Amino acid sequence: MIQRIQKYKLPLIVGAFILLFAAVLIPLLREGEKPAEVNTERFVEFDGSELEEKRDGKLVWHLTADKILVDPDSGKVYFVKPTGTFVSDDGVQLTITADQGIVDRNGKTIELKAPLEAHTDQGDSLQTDGSVYYNMDTREITGGKVVITRADQTDLSADSFTANAALNAVTLTGHARITKGE
C-alpha cells in the first residue's frame, strides 16, 4: 500500500492541489454572477406611475410601470414592469416592454433590462439577450447581441448595435449580417 502511494505521490499531490484550487475559485465565481444588490430601504415608492420627456412640445420618450422606486441619494429611478415609448424625429414610435428598467438622469440614460420585447408602429421588431440603453442626449438606442426584423422580412443581426427609435438608421458592429426574407 505504501509503495502504491509513493508511486502515485506526484499525481495525488497535483490532484489535491486542483481540488483545493477549485474549492476556492468556484465560490468566488458564483459571487460575480449575482446581480448587484440595491438597498431599497430609503427609496420612495410609487405604484402605477409614469415619466416622460418632451422637447419643443413633442414627446421624446414616455415610461410607465407597475411600480417606480426613486433613490433620493443617487437620483436614479427604478421601474418594475416598465413599458417605454421612444419617438424618433420623424414620429415613428418604438415600444419596449421589459421586466426592469433604470432611469439615470445624471448619466442621461434609460436602461431596459432583458428579457424584453420591442417593436415599432411600422411593424419592425427588435430582439436582444441583453439590456437596451437609450441615450437622452443623442436619442440613440444601443445594446448587445441583436436581431432586428423589418416589416419587409429583412433581418439585421450583430454582436452590438446603435439605432434611432424608428430602427431605420442602424449601425451594426461585430459579425453583422443582413438577410432578405422571402
DSSP state for residue 111 in the 8-state scheme? E
pLDDT digits (tens, 9 = 90+) for 18-49: 877 677 767 666 543 333 455 566 777 777 77
Mean pLDDT of the chain: 85
All structural domains of the chain with their residue ranges? 2-33, 44-180
- Tell me the pLDDT tens digit for each residue of 75-96: 899 999 999 999 999 999 999 9
Is cis: bond before 27, omega within 30 of 0?
Answer: no
β-pairing verdict for 160-163 and 93-104: unpaired
Task: Judge whether residue 163 has pLDDT over 70.
Answer: yes
- Which residues contact residue 134 at a Cβ distance below 8 angstroms, ignoring those fewer than 6 apart? 61, 84, 86, 109, 110, 111, 112, 140, 141
CA distances from 32 to 18, 36, 38, 56, 170 (A): 21, 9, 15, 44, 33
pLDDT mean over 137-151: 94
Q: For residue 82, give the DSSP letter.
A: -
Contact 160, 133 (CB under 8 A): no
pLDDT digits (tens, 9 = 90+) for 107-133: 999 999 989 999 999 999 999 989 999
Q: Taking the CB of residue 158, how many other CB atoms lie within 10 A of it?
A: 19
Q: Which CATH superfamily is domain 44-180 in?
A: Lipopolysaccharide (LPS) transport protein A like domain (2.60.450.10)
Residue 175: Cβ-neighbour burial (10 angstroms; 0-12, 13-18, 19+): exposed
Q: Find out whether 170 and 148 touch, Cβ atoms under 8 Å.
A: yes
What nine digits make up the cell of 70?
426613486
Per the model's pLDDT, the better-predicted residue between 49 and 159 turns out to be 159
Question: Among 8-17, 54-63, 136-145, whose mean pLDDT is lowest?
Answer: 8-17
| H or E segment and range at residue 78 | strand 76-80
Which SS3 state, helix, strand or coil, does residue 81 take? coil
pLDDT score for 39: 59
